[in-house]
Amino acid sequence: MEESNDDEIWRRMLDGDAHAFGPIWDRHRDRVFGKLLALGSTRTDAEDLTAVAFLELWRRRRSVRFVDGSLLPWLLVTAHNVWRNSARATRRYQALIARLPEPEHAPDPAERVDPLAEARARAVRRVLSEAREADRVLLGLTAIDGLTVREAATALGIGESAAKMRLSRLRRRLSSAVDPVPSLEGEPS
């Protein structure tokens, strides 16, 4: 019989049950993997980073935070942090590569197919790049990962009302960035 929440399984594992970590892996690996894919990881990198997130779970097994008896919110935040560390290492590598002479580059004609969609995408990217990292994580946990505002707030260690306010402000900035539609380059405003 499967336990109703992760907290019960986790207590068994901490008490020495060598097989108790497996059900946690089985329950949450797909969501963690999906989160890493959504953040932009390749499938191969997402597999590796999923393993790293669960390694962090094991390493910090005595100090993890449960939300309503579930480890999933903690794992999703940890997966995001693991992804950020990996992205930072990639940026450092790319900075090294950037010191090399660049090959001649020709613009991709496919980038000009839908200028309106591209303008909106640029506006959204600009707003998200200007937003605080914590607000972007909060938005991802609620809009992409499907956590409630309360669950996301608890996982991030902030109050639910603060989380609602942050999300409201970010959504308002996103909405004003794309509506009215930004004028396209070369077109009169």
Task: Kindly report, residue by residue over 81-137, the tens digit of the pLDDT.
Answer: 999 999 999 999 999 888 888 777 777 776 666 777 778 888 889 999 999 999 999
pTM of the prediction?
Answer: 0.61
What CATH number was assigned to the domain covering residues 1-100?
1.10.1740.10
Residue-averaged pLDDT of the chain: 88
Residue given tokens 């594992």 in the structure block: 13
What residue spans define the domains of the chain? Answer: 1-100, 114-180
- pLDDT tens profile 47-63: 999 999 999 999 999 99
pLDDT given for residue 184 in this prediction:
53
In angstroms, rounded to a whole number, what is the distance separating the alpha carbons of residues 47 and 18? 23
| Three-state DSSP string of the chain | CCCCCHHHHHHHHHCCCCCCHHHHHHHHHHHHHHHHHHCCCCHHHHHHHHHHHHHHHHHCCCCCCCECCECHHHHHHHHHHHHHHHHHHHHHHHHHHHCCCCCCCCCCHHHHCCHHHHHHHHHHHHHHHHCCHHHHHHHHHHHHCCCCHHHHHHHHCCCHHHHHHHHHHHHHHHHHHHCCCCCCCCCCC
Q: Please give the pLDDT value at position 189.
A: 45
Residue 181's pLDDT is 54
151: confidence class by pLDDT, cuts 50, 70, 90: very high
pLDDT at 120: 84
Instruction: Say which amino acid occupies 117.
Output: A
Name the CATH topology of 114-180: Arc Repressor Mutant, subunit A (1.10.10)
- Residue 138, pLDDT score: 93
Angle, helices 72-98/43-59, rounded to nearest 10 degrees? 120
The pLDDT tens digits for 14-33 are 998 888 899 999 999 999 99
How much is the average pLDDT of 37-54? 96
